[in-house]
Structures are given as structure tokens and as C-alpha cells.
């Protein structure tokens, strides 16, 4: 949804913009191309992805200030740069194709690999998906699948996982998550919600999202734009509610009365975009 993202960000040549989920630099490159005297703060929690994003945007390096870390630490890192307040901020909560297609990252239920699922592998002490499925109690695991993945088969899957321990690979977990499932949509793997729930839990993604949304008043300049791309209902509910809260308090105006979704043409070209939802906010002007 590149065109829609740029439309709602409304970047000017002198804008101060932050892309908090640089990934491989797709959105960042388009934003940087619109800048002249402005600056793009390019962030990602994954150091490997950020390095590639910087390489992919090297023609605009003079306009880019890179920084690495999670959402909750961004406000301090940004303040330390001494750049002021933001005219535009983007966060795209989709998993990058690089992460999905590298078996060693453990995100894919179609490619065999270790049960990792960490967005950043910089710290070896962080919790992994293998830790969760092999050491958490059956109830704890079921609760995670239900709360984070909205998986209605959470108890049955948790029971199957606990009985089959140790779980050593992504394909082993995918088979357990899909066992006995009568999937209504054959285009969507029955393991999808299990993998999504574990990824969200391991990386504390919903907690990090809430921390970022709470920090907006200290980040945004008057009239600044915030654009969010979400890919599942739990993320979208959090963004929708917080945007409405800011509107009710008079701090901002919601620009997307109805959520913006990709066109049929885009979904045809990029099936991964089918669940994308865009919401945008304009910060107060007084």
C-alpha cells in the first residue's frame, strides 16, 4: 500500500520523518526520495534488516539517521538525537519477507528450521519460541494461543504440543498445530494463528505497540501525521482504539473514517497484503 502510505504521511521536502519499521527499506526509500532538507529517522529492532535497509537506501544516506531498537526505547533514542518533533511517523507491523523466507529465523511454518521467532537475534538471552513450547505449562501455552492468536483450538493444540515434547522444529510444530483441523479456508494454513501468537508473545509486540502509541504526544509536531499498517485484528483494535482516544481528547484527528485496505489489484500482485489495514492520524495543530 505504498501509494496510500505516502498520501497519508504527506511528506514535504523539509519534513522530519520516522520509519519505525524499516524492514529492508522499501517505505524508507520512497520517503527519503521526497526529502531535500528534511531528515528520515530509520529504525528497526532487527539489526540484520536495518543493515540491509541502509544498503538499499544508500543513495539517500545524507538524509537518513539510523537507529536500532524496540518501540518502547525509541522516544529516548529520538530525543537524544536532538532533532525536534516529527512531521510524520510510520509503523508497518508486517513481518519482513527476509525474516519469513530464512528458515533459520523460525517464522515460517512452511520451511523447516529452529523454533526461534525473535525479531532481533542480537541478544542470546531473549526468550525464543522453543522456550515457550517446551517449558511453559499447557494452560500458559493455551492462553497465549488464544489471547495473542485468537486461536479457538488453543487448548487442543497446547495439549498436543505438551504431549509431543520436545518440539525441535518449525515443521514439527506446524504439524501439531494443524492436526485434526478442518480448515474452512484452504489458502490459510491451520498453523497460521499458532505461529502468529508465538511470534507476538516472544517479541512482546502488542506491549511494544501500546508503548509507542502512548508516547505519541511527546513525539509529534503540530499537524504531524501518524500512519499505521496492521495485519491482524488484535493489532488493529489497539491502534483504532488509541487513535479514537486521541481524537476524543482533542489531541488529534483520525483521517481514516473507514479503515483503508489494499485494492484487489494489489492483492493479486502481492497476496501477502490481503490482511493489511491502514489507519492514519493528524496531530493537533494548536
Q: Enumerate the domain spans of the chain.
A: 2-97+205-283, 120-202
Decide if domain 120-202 falls under CATH 1.10.150.170.
Answer: yes
pLDDT, one tens digit per residue, over 159-212 is 999 999 999 999 999 999 986 555 444 566 889 999 999 999 999 999 999 999
Residue 159 is placed in which grid cell? 495439549
Going by pLDDT thresholds of 50, 70 and 90, the confidence category of residue 124 is low
pLDDT band at 141 (very low <50, low <70, confident <90, very high): very high
The CATH code of the domain at 2-97+205-283 is 3.40.50.150
Neighbours of 76 (CB within 10 A): 10
Average pLDDT, the chain: 91
Q: What is the pTM of this model?
A: 0.92
Can you give the length of the chain in residues?
286
The distance between the two most distant Cα atoms of the chain, rounded to a whole number of Å, is: 60
Q: What is the mean pLDDT of residues 92-117?
A: 85
Rounded CA separation 194/155 (Å): 11
CB 142 within 8 Å of CB 156: no
pLDDT above 90 for 8: yes
Q: What stretches of the chain adopt beta strand conformation (E)?
A: 16-19, 39-44, 64-68, 86-92, 220-230, 252-254, 277-283
Query: In this predicted structure, what is the pLDDT of residue 184?
Result: 47
Question: pLDDT at position 100, please?
Answer: 78
Identify the band that residue 50 occupies on the pLDDT scale cut at 50, 70 and 90.
very high
| pLDDT tier at 125, thresholds 50, 70, 90 | low
The reported pLDDT for the residue numbered 180 is: 52
Indicate the pLDDT class of residue 262, thresholds 50, 70 and 90. Answer: confident
What digits encode the pLDDT tens for the residues 208-235? 999 999 999 999 999 999 999 999 899 9
- For residue 15, the SS3 value is coil
Rounded mean pLDDT, 8-27: 96
The cell numbers describing 233, all together, are 485484528
Give the pairing type, strands 220-230 and 86-92.
parallel
The pLDDT value given to residue 103: 80
Amino acid at each position: 500500500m505504498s501509494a496510500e502510505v505516502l498520501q497519508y504521511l504527506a511528506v514535504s521536502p523539509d519534513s522530519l520523518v520516522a520509519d519505525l519499521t524499516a524492514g529492508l527499506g522499501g517505505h524508507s526509500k520512497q520517503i527519503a526520495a521526497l526529502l531535500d532538507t528534511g531528515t528520515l529517522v530509520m529504525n528497526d529492532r532487527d539489526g540484520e534488516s536495518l543493515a540491509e535497509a541502509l544498503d538499499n537506501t544508500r543513495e539517500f544516506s545524507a538524509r537518513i539517521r539510523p537507529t536500532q531498537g524496540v518501540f518502547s526505547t525509541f522516544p529516548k533514542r529520538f530525543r537524544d538525537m536532538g532533532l525536534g518533533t516529527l512531521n510524520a511517523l510510520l509503523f508497518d507491523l508486517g513481518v519482513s519477507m527476509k525474516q519469513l523466507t530464512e528458515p533459520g529465523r523460525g517464522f515460517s511454518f512452511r520451511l523447516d528450521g529452529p523454533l526461534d521467532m525473535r525479531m532481533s537475534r542480537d541478544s542470546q538471552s531473549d526468550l525464543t519460541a522453543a522456550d515457550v513450547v517446551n517449558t511453559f505449562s499447557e494452560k500458559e501455552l493455551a492462553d497465549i494461543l488464544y489471547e495473542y492468536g485468537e486461536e479457538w483450538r488453543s487448548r487442543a493444540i497446547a495439549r498436543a504440543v505438551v504431549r509431543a515434547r520436545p518440539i525441535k522444529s518449525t515443521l514439527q510444530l506446524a504439524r501439531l498445530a494443524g492436526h485434526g483441523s478442518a480448515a474452512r479456508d484452504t489458502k490459510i494454513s491451520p498453523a497460521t494463528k499458532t505461529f502468529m501468537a508465538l511470534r507476538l508473545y516472544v517479541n512482546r509486540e502488542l506491549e511494544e505497540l501500546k508503548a509507542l502509541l502512548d508516547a505519541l504526544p511527546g513525539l509529534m509536531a503540530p499537524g504531524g501525521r501518524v500512519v499505521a499498517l496492521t495485519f491482524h485484528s488484535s493489532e488493529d483494535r489497539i491502534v483504532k482504539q488509541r487513535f479514537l482516544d486521541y481524537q476524543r481528547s482533542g489531541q488529534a484527528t483520525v483521517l481514516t473514517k473507514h479503515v483503508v485496505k489494499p485494492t484487489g489489484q494489489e492483492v493479486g500482485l502481492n497476496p501477502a497484503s490481503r490482511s493489511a489495514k491502514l489507519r492514519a492520524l493528524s496531530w493537533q495543530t494548536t
